[in-house]
Structure 1
Amino acid sequence: MKSPDLVGIDDIAVERWILALGLEARAPLRFERVGNGRSNLTYLVTDAAGTRWVLRRPPVGPLLPSAHDVKREHRILSALDPTAVPTPGVLAFTDDPDVTDAPLMLMTFVDGMVVDEVSVAQALSPEARARLGLTLARTLARVHEVDLKETGLDTLASHGPYAARQIRRWRRQWEGSRTREVPAVDALADRLEAAVPEQRELTLVHGDYHLLNVIASESGDEIRAVLDWELCTLGDPLADLGALLAYWPRPGDLGEGPFPAPRLQGFPTRAELAGCYAAETGRDISALPFWHALGLWKIAIIGEGVRRRALDTGRGTGHDDPDLLATDLLPGLIRQAELVADEAGL
């Protein structure tokens, strides 16, 4: 009998699919939702022998165009498998309607620590937090070293100017997801559009690189897997660094960030993260404030998209945060972005 409590997958049909893949999986399989559910939905799969795998699928409910493309994420992860970028191994993909109502990807299970709750970060020593932050910056450098032609990822996205493309895209996302009028969002977009820096190189861009999207060792000195590649594209590498800073709140910031853990003692400052990345890559990061402000603006819009899905589908659907509608981070993120832009003279 299909489990009525398992949102997003038909466990009976998916079990049948996995057992036929030749992975030596032993029935019965147990499925468990993991993660915070604000991106593609993730499930831990465990067989009767205790072997584990991970499943991914898009969120339940209406989606914005181009968002949560699991088939594309499958392509990216498969291409990255032989590179120096740590990723989970891809085992299978299906969009067979007899198995699933949305694309499904099965991956290897990577053991380690995911800092997706403040309590996880609190359990680390200040020294481990410091190592973890700097390892995060060094691993980002590996992402930007990927040879696009060798991996076949040179056709992943447009080679045109990335910043302008991002502003256009996220303006459309804002129009498609807004739940109220916030003139400051459009005003900041105009300001960013007028301050676009010259693009000097084209690299792989993760598109959502931050502390919650990696699996790390508990010592903080190793990133074992970079996760959530659904927003990956081609563009300016500083976009990823700016996004990392946008997800890295510090004491004194205006409003609350989406994840407060980096405020804890020991985590590097944003300047230390940027300095570590610059030393690792040799890149000129003088345009970083633009990308930091753009990152904050994008996070605010992403949050509005999650809010829109919660309003459209209602609470209790299994993919939204029960407290989401009472927790509005958008005004604080936009104020912080304005401050970053002010200090940089944008």
Structure 2
Amino acid sequence: MAEGETAEELFTGTKPVADTHKFDEAKLAAWMEANVEGYEGPLEVRQFKGGQSNPTYQLVTPNKKYVMRRKPPGKLLPSAHAVDREYRVISALYPLGYPVARPYGLCTDESVVGTMFYVMDMVEGRILWDGTLPDYEPAERRAIYEAKVKTFADLHNVDWRAAGLEGFGKEGDYVARQIHRWTKQYKASETQHIPEMEQLIEWLPNNIPPGDKTTIVHGDYRLDNMVLHPTEPRVIAVLDWELCTLGDPLADFSYHLMNWVMPPGDSSRGSIMAIDDLKAWGIPTMDEYVDLYCKHTGRDGLPELDYYFAYNGFRLAGILQGIIGRVRDGTANSANAESNAARVVPLAKFAAEYARRAGMPG
């Protein structure tokens, strides 16, 4: 990041298409003509600056702007970059009035742009990157946070069977499957012995809270993955459905809540931990935010939160350790390898602390 440059400036807006992501624009224009209702060229293609794992383009025509999400070119992991899954969930939610961009079409024919892609509406509004909302007044901050949690609760309230998402993910045992997955990843990537991780690997799978409800889970619900109305405190589009599946809504919600509890000094973006007096700042305390979520989802409370914070800390440690392992093995090069490595032990200690609150011995 250049000196004085904010995340908003770095990631917002478009740039010319990177050489590695170029394709035959005439072929795309012909596909749009045949498949996108109301399309009228000529077409200009730009690329969004943000660091999406699926290259994302702005398609500009004289009357309208569209967005295209495509699989990146090159050799990929089998289940990664599943833009067809993103398209399926957006197509299921849009008719229900849930705030997502209008989907126009999915193209599985790789001869058009080189990889599978889909096209959706370009939703114009505000994308905010800093969870502390430094440019807003306390009342505006409060309203944005209230809109954010209501929109999240609305997602977990969707009847996914009625929405046509049968088979979109496995029903039940979501947390158990996730623990198994990240344990395997952690063990394969281990670079140092971390006693807390060993304790968690043993304790977490045997103490999963009962009441395993299945809902749509977003997987990465956060402020910079949504478009706010240009002037109103209202979410008009939730973005980046790459990690979406069917799963445990409390795993999804508690991951979002990590902004309130992350270990001090963790480098994750948008943390509000640095604010001494959230109420004076206009941002709900974690208890207030949890109460809002419970009100919107009809719950009496979330007594299981300590367990879920332990689970999320463990999962994050496993994800980061996986990146470190790939760098070690020469299958990934990460400019942030050192800072990722520095985060693993604090996250393991954080997870173990919450696990002990939830009943883990020691």
- Name the TM-score, length of structure 1 as normaliser: 0.83
> Alpha carbons of 1:170 and 1:61: their partners in 2 closer, same or farther (altered >3 Å)?
farther
Task: Report the residue type matching 2:237 in the other structure.
Answer: A
2:174 counterpart residue number: 162
1:17 counterpart residue number: 31
1:256 counterpart residue number: 266
1:318 counterpart residue number: none
Q: Any gaps of 5 or more consecutive residues in structure 2?
A: 1-15, 276-280
CA distance in 1, matches of 2:144, 2:17: 39
RMSD: 3.0
CA distance in 1, matches of 2:97, 2:43: 35
- Equivalence map 1:1-346=2 (5 Å): 5-12=18-25, 13-22=27-36, 23-37=38-52, 39-47=53-61, 49=62, 51-59=64-72, 63-117=76-130, 121-174=133-186, 178=189, 180-181=191-192, 183=194, 184-217=196-229, 221-246=233-258, 248-249=259-260, 253-263=263-273, 264=275, 265-283=281-299, 284-304=301-321, 312=331, 314=333, 323-328=335-340, 329-346=343-360
Task: Report the residue type matching 2:41 in the other structure.
Answer: R
| 3-state SS in 2 of match to 1:327 | helix
Maintained 8 Å contact 1:255/1:336: no
Maintained 8 Å contact 1:148/1:204: yes
> Alpha carbons of 1:9 and 1:294: their partners in 2 closer, same or farther (altered >3 Å)?
farther
- Name the TM-score, length of structure 2 as normaliser: 0.79
> Alpha carbons of 1:274 and 1:291: their partners in 2 closer, same or farther (altered >3 Å)?
same
Give CA deviations for 1:157-207 in whole Å, capped at 9, x if unaligned. Answer: 22232211221233344456x374463545433332122111242222222
> Alpha carbons of 1:345 and 1:179: their partners in 2 closer, same or farther (altered >3 Å)?
closer
Q: CA deviation at 1:249?
A: 4.1
**Count of residues paired in the alignment:** 331
CA distance in 1, matches of 2:282, 2:20: 38
CA distance in 2, matches of 1:20, 1:308: 45
Maintained 8 Å contact 2:226/2:239: yes
Q: CA deviation at 1:7?
A: 3.3
CA distance in 1, matches of 2:180, 2:218: 18
Q: Any gaps of 5 or more consecutive residues in structure 1?
A: 316-322
Task: Report the residue type matching 2:39 in the other structure.
Answer: E
Maintained 8 Å contact 2:176/2:205: yes
Quick check: which has more Rg, 1 or 2?
2
Give CA deviations for 1:276-301 in whole Å, capped at 9, x if unaligned. Answer: 10122221411122222222333344
Identity value in percent:
30
Give CA deviations for 1:54-104 in whole Å, capped at 9, x if unaligned. Answer: 111235565444232111111111111122421111111113221233321
Q: CA deviation at 1:108?
A: 0.6
Give CA deviations for 1:136-164 in whole Å, capped at 9, x if unaligned. Answer: 11111111111122111132122232211
2:278 counterpart residue number: none
Which of the pair has the greater relative contact order for Cα pairs under 8 Å at 6+ separation?
A: 1
Task: Report the residue type matching 2:154 in the other structure.
Answer: R
CA distance in 2, matches of 1:220, 1:46: 26
CA distance in 2, matches of 1:271, 1:303: 28
Maintained 8 Å contact 2:54/2:71: yes
| 3-state SS in 2 of match to 1:262 | coil
